[in-house]
Structure 1
Amino acid sequence: MKQTLESIQNRLSEIKRQNLYRRLKYGKINGPYITINSKKLVNFCSNDYLGLSSTKITASQSQSSSRLVSGNDTSFMKLEKKLAEHKSQEAALVFPTGYMANLGAIPALVDKNTIIFSDELNHASIIEACKLSGAKLQVYRHNDVDDLEKKIKKFKAYNKLIITEGIFSMDGDYSKLREISEISQKTDSFLILDDAHGDFTVGKDGKGTPNHFGVEKKVDVYISSLSKGLGSFGGYATASNPVVDLCINKARSFIYTSALPSFLVEMSLSRIKQNRAKQQKKLEKNTSMFSSGLKQIGYDIKSQTHIIPIIIGNEKKTLEFGRFMYENKVFAQPIRYPTVPKNSARLRVSVTAWLEKSHIESALSVFERAAEKFKLV
């Protein structure tokens, strides 16, 4: 036991040496602000993109059981019907989190005769799901449709499944969905899309990335989150009736866990029913204002979405950059390996509808001083 503890301490020391050590920050979120250690900062780390999470909720009894045992409150049926309509699909299935939706749905839909083609920058939940699935796996270069097509042609004998994100969580770029969906149809490959960061925020009525690109009908399975654009909690998958039925019967992260408390389901239901056009328009305006401001300062900004990475590279320098932002009342977390590749550390800035013009202008002023201090432009 002592040897095990010594080994753990050595591993922690190595993590610290590489400037990769993480520590939880305890804070109180209030609208566009977060307060940490009595310091009030403008929050540029929230995934509550439309600023919907302020609704007061009243707790109700927990389901305290799996939905297949005794925890299937009727509120789930109502929410799943709305989610299926939202994505123009036949059925939907709610999971406790978006991570669990990927972890359950992906392995449920494949077998040993399936080969998965996954973008190299897909979210950790997709990577873990692919590893657990038992299917063969081919990772294609990020958003490289030529590499994807070339890899698919090598494996004609297998059932083929392509997985990509709609908006990539750390780079903030759109997936090349038009081209990928064409390859999917041409090669008879099943297409799964994780649209956690595009759902409810882009496209007509917030219908997501495929709607934005006009390829809604070409996606076979949508997996998404209720905790980002919708500002609630949970995850879901939506697809044809047979696909959802198979998930009910085979998705282990659905079968073997307690259901969400009904008040969270009801909160999601109330928010999906409300008109979010005003918040979506404000998010677009804020994103444009902030991105343009960073470019004027001289930052190399390629993102066209509300997720804007400021890539610095060196982990230590990135930590120092983040500390400078914190000291100047801007909360923008440094992101390092293994979340992103080594030597591509960054600040992941997320714009929300919570922010007012004054928040953005004051933050840009801090980013301008940071650019000079760290010689980034």
Structure 2
Amino acid sequence: MKQKLRFAHLVLQGAKKDNIYRQLRNSKVSGPYITVGTKRMINFCSNDYLGLSVKKNVTSQMQSSSRLVSGNDVSFDTLEKTLARHKSQQRSLVFPTGYMANLGAISAMVGKNDVVLSDELNHASIIEACRLSGARIAIYKHNDVDDLEKKIKANKAKRKFVITEGIFSMDGDFADLKQITEQTEKSGAILILDDAHGDFTVGTDGRGSAHLQGVGKKIDAYISSLSKGLGSFGGYVASEESIVDLCINKARSFIYTSALPSFLVEMSLQRFHQNRSARQKKLASNVARLSSGLKKIGYDIKSTTHIIPIIIGSEKKALEFGKYVYDNGVFAQPIRYPTVAKNSARLRVSVTAWLSDSHIDDALYTFEKAGKKFDIL
């Protein structure tokens, strides 16, 4: 090992000692199952919430250029008009990933003389985007609208942005969008909603968290993912014409990267037009079955969505808990610091429409045994 690179070894040693070391494992997903090596398990770690990721024939040519150069296939226009209508917005813009959509759109909209009020549990991509913008950042307590109001009043910047997730990716709870939109309307703050986990899965026609709470028209800019509820790939922003045009001109993660391959754009269109209502109902049924089952066993479950955290606490115990359920046929990954706060490690259980009642019942049996073994129950 080169001496000057020894720092990496020391960092990894520290991660192992603190039980936050991560490793890649080869796996293959097929419907409700995941196979790691030769071990087949029920998959509770998928973001394909509606179970739409069915292979389609690939006939389109790959793009190899930025959309502003020569990579703007006509399929983008069709998808973007569809997504704009989906969110009742004037226009939308597709990015290669949801992470890149947050980085590009937020840093394009927000400037160094602005202030960003960001929920303390917002996703890492939002945090990085806010830092890139150069704006002053004020963190408000998670879903605490009173704290948000205080921080809005305390900041005198000419432009104020409020940024929140619709469904929070690690706790699985909804943002209180009714009260948040009251604050942004009263103060004139611009509201950006990252609805990656709510889009296509909740609300009428899967229109997302804001529509579910009756405030869809009060969101100034939506940022979302095509790889979760839609089971495809990519991300997008939807807003009024000027905001999307600003992103085209200023979002570096859009300008300086190759276009998303057009076959993935066409895949998103195909999946958007599939009958998603039956799968939404199945997803809701599965969420209710697993959530009520976990509560009956004795777990303290507060989430009402398809993201259900089982809080363990200690990183070490979370790893042991995760290995136990893994060994017993349930795949649910331990989530540890720095993704969540220290000593709030958890199993992040993702519910999908792929799962049958028997899959859920088998998992509940395993979770009950694990809870008793590790003194969680």
Counterpart position of 2:22: 22
Counterpart position of 2:104: 104
1:201 and 1:322 mapped to 2: Cα distance?
A: 27
Preserved CA contact (<8 Å) 1:57 1:263: no
1:72 and 1:157 mapped to 2: Cα distance?
A: 37
1:321 and 1:282 mapped to 2: Cα distance?
A: 28
2:322 and 2:158 mapped to 1: Cα distance?
A: 46
**Letter paired with 1:85:** R
Counterpart position of 1:58: 58
CA RMSD of aligned residues (A): 0.9
1:83 and 1:329 mapped to 2: Cα distance?
A: 38
Counterpart position of 2:156: 156
1:169 and 1:277 mapped to 2: Cα distance?
A: 23
Preserved CA contact (<8 Å) 2:162 2:192: yes
Counterpart position of 1:131: 131
Counterpart position of 1:81: 81
Counterpart position of 1:297: 297
SS of residue matched to 1:41? strand
Preserved CA contact (<8 Å) 1:57 1:267: no
SS of residue matched to 2:66? coil
Q: Does 1:231 align with 2:204?
A: no
Counterpart position of 1:241: 241
Q: Does 1:341 align with 2:341?
A: yes
SS of residue matched to 2:9? helix
Counterpart position of 1:121: 121
Preserved CA contact (<8 Å) 1:308 1:350: yes
Preserved CA contact (<8 Å) 1:332 1:347: yes
Q: Does 1:7 align with 2:11?
A: no
2:163 and 2:73 mapped to 1: Cα distance?
A: 31
**Letter paired with 2:169:** S
Q: Does 1:211 align with 2:211?
A: yes
Q: How far is the alpha carbon of 1:325 from its aligned partner? A: 0.5
Q: Does 1:144 align with 2:144?
A: yes
2:123 and 2:197 mapped to 1: Cα distance?
A: 11
2:365 and 2:11 mapped to 1: Cα distance?
A: 39
**Letter paired with 2:247:** C
2:19 and 2:236 mapped to 1: Cα distance?
A: 35
What are the Cα deviations for residues 204-247 of structure 1, in whole angstroms up to 9, with x where unaligned?
01000001000001100000000000000000000000000000
Preserved CA contact (<8 Å) 1:52 1:230: yes
SS of residue matched to 1:149? helix
Preserved CA contact (<8 Å) 2:114 2:157: no
Counterpart position of 1:371: 371
Preserved CA contact (<8 Å) 2:312 2:345: yes
Q: How far is the alpha carbon of 1:156 from its aligned partner? A: 2.9
Q: How far is the alpha carbon of 1:6 from its aligned partner? A: 1.5
1:7 and 1:262 mapped to 2: Cα distance?
A: 42
Counterparts of 1:154-233 in structure 2, within 5 Å, are 154-233=154-233
Identity of aligned residues (%): 68
Moved over 6 A (4+): none
Q: How far is the alpha carbon of 1:110 from its aligned partner? A: 1.4
What are the Cα deviations for residues 260-280 of structure 1, in whole angstroms up to 9, with x where unaligned?
110000000111122200000
Counterpart position of 2:275: 275
**Letter paired with 2:132:** L
Counterpart position of 1:34: 34
2:262 and 2:157 mapped to 1: Cα distance?
A: 45
SS of residue matched to 2:258? coil
Preserved CA contact (<8 Å) 1:47 1:228: yes
Q: How far is the alpha carbon of 1:45 from its aligned partner? A: 0.2
SS of residue matched to 1:192? strand
* Residues 338 and 59 of structure 1: CA distance in aligned 2, closer, same or farther (over 3 Å): farther
Q: How far is the alpha carbon of 1:59 from its aligned partner? A: 4.8
2:249 and 2:76 mapped to 1: Cα distance?
A: 17
1:56 and 1:250 mapped to 2: Cα distance?
A: 34
What are the Cα deviations for residues 153-179 of structure 1, in whole angstroms up to 9, with x where unaligned?
011342000000000000000001000
Counterpart position of 2:49: 49
Counterpart position of 1:312: 312
Q: How far is the alpha carbon of 1:198 from its aligned partner? A: 0.2
Preserved CA contact (<8 Å) 1:91 1:239: yes
Q: How far is the alpha carbon of 1:2 from its aligned partner? A: 2.8
1:2 and 1:365 mapped to 2: Cα distance?
A: 50
